[in-house]
A and B are shown apart, each in its own frame.
Chain A
Amino acid sequence: EDQVTQSPEALRLQEGESSSLNCSYTVSGLRGLFWYRQDPGKGPEFLFTLYSAGEEKEKERLKATLTKKESFLHITAPKPEDSATYLCAVTRGANSKLTFGKGITLSVRP
Chain B
Amino acid sequence: DGGITQSPKYLFRKEGQNVTLSCEQNLNHDAMYWYRQDPGQGLRLIYYSQIVNDFQKGDIAEGYSVSREKKESFPLTVTSAQKNPTAFYLCATRGGGQLNTGELFFGEGSRLTVL
Of the candidates A4, A31, A41, A45, which one forms a contact with B102 in the assembled complex, judged by CB atoms under 8 Å apart? A31
Question: A100: which B residues are within 8 A, CB to CB?
Answer: 42-43
Query: Does A42 make an interface contact (CB < 8 A)?
Result: yes
Q: Is the CB of B103 within 8 A of A43?
A: no
Query: Does A72 make an interface contact (CB < 8 A)?
Result: no
Q: Is the CB of B100 within 8 A of A95?
A: yes
Q: Size of chain B's interface in residues, with CB distance under 8 A?
A: 26
Q: Is the CB of B109 within 8 A of A46?
A: no
Encoded as 1 (CB less than 8 Å from any B CB) or 0, chain A from 90 to 102 comes to 0101110111111
Chain B residues proximal to chain A, CB less than 8 Å: 4, 6, 31, 33, 40-43, 45, 48, 50, 58, 88, 90, 92, 100-109, 111
Q: Mind listing 13 A-B residue pairs with CB under 8 Å?
A: A31-B102, A32-B102, A36-B106, A41-B88, A41-B111, A42-B108, A43-B6, A43-B106, A43-B109, A87-B43, A89-B43, A95-B100, A100-B42
Chain A residues proximal to chain B, CB less than 8 Å: 4, 31-32, 34, 36, 41-46, 49, 87, 89, 91, 93-95, 97-103
Q: Told that A32-B102, A43-B108, A97-B58 touch, could you supply 5 new A-B pairs with CB distance under 8 A?
A: A34-B103, A46-B103, A49-B101, A94-B100, A95-B100
